[in-house]
Amino acid sequence: MRNRVREQRAQRGLSQAELAAALGVSRQTVISIENGRYLPSLPLAFRIARFFNVTVDKMFDPEDEVTET
Amino acid sequence: MKRLSGSRLRVPAVMLILGTGLAVAEAVGQGWHSGILLEGVAVAAAVGYFLLGGMNNDVGAIYGSSTDERQQMVRLRAQALTAEVMALAVVIGYMVQTARQAPTWPFGVIAAVAAVTFAAALAIQRVSPRS
């Protein structure tokens, strides 16, 4: 599942550490989410979407699957 | 000065207490030389665990006290793998002891405790899952 966290964060000029602090997670978790290595829980997905003032389905795209081999 | 979190000290403190108990048992059974040696190992392990908890990365968070949801998941998976390897070790230990015609009850006790704990954990988590 792809997401637009990196794109939204860059638009707002935030560092990964600043976003992590705002969301209450570690910087490593923000990196993992941006790279698509970790799918956040539903509560965290909502926190991310609300932080960027977009809807969850705009932030996370279930149609755009990353195929793991 | 940064105040140390109580939960970061909890695991090293438990390690130190259990290690000291083991060292006392060793001193009583095998002599004070090996007891002191074991106490040294317990202190080093507790200090090492505490220092790992101070690292500014996933390992530090997992050994420390402030994990987020992904780090909790990593820790849970690591604990699950550890439990599976330990269960395998218990089965192998049981087989070896059986072949040697040696007592198998320690492995039986560990297996029974694990089985009961797993059943209880399933029942508890079904009713009130940790989020």
Taking an 8 Å cut-off on Cβ atoms, the answer to whether B70 and A24 are in contact is no
Return the SS3 of B2.
coil
- The pLDDT score that the predictor gives to residue A9 is 96
* pTM for the predicted model, two decimal places: 0.77
Q: Measured between beta carbons, which residues in chain B are less than 8 angstroms from residue A38? A: 70
Burial class (CB in 10 A: 0-12, 13-18, 19+), A27: middle
- The pLDDT score that the predictor gives to residue B57 is 85
- The pLDDT score that the predictor gives to residue B130 is 60
Query: Strand pairing partners for A61?
Result: A2
Q: Measured between beta carbons, which residues in chain A are less than 8 angstroms from residue B70? A: 25-26, 28-29, 32, 38, 40
Examine the pLDDT at A12 and tell me if it is beyond 80: yes
Rg for chain A, CA atoms, rounded: 11
Rounded to whole angstroms, the Cα distance separating A16 from A9 reads 8
Examine the pLDDT at B3 and tell me if it is beyond 60: no
The mean per-residue pLDDT over the stretch B53-80 comes to: 89
Span B75-123, pLDDT tens digits: 999 999 999 999 999 999 999 999 999 999 999 999 999 999 999 999 9
CA distance, residue B46 to nearest chain A CA (Å): 25
Please enumerate residues of B whose Cβ is less than 8 A from a Cβ of A: 57-58, 61, 68-71
Supply A65's token pair: 């699957």
- The pLDDT score that the predictor gives to residue B2 is 43
Residue found by looking up tokens 């015609």 in the block:
B101
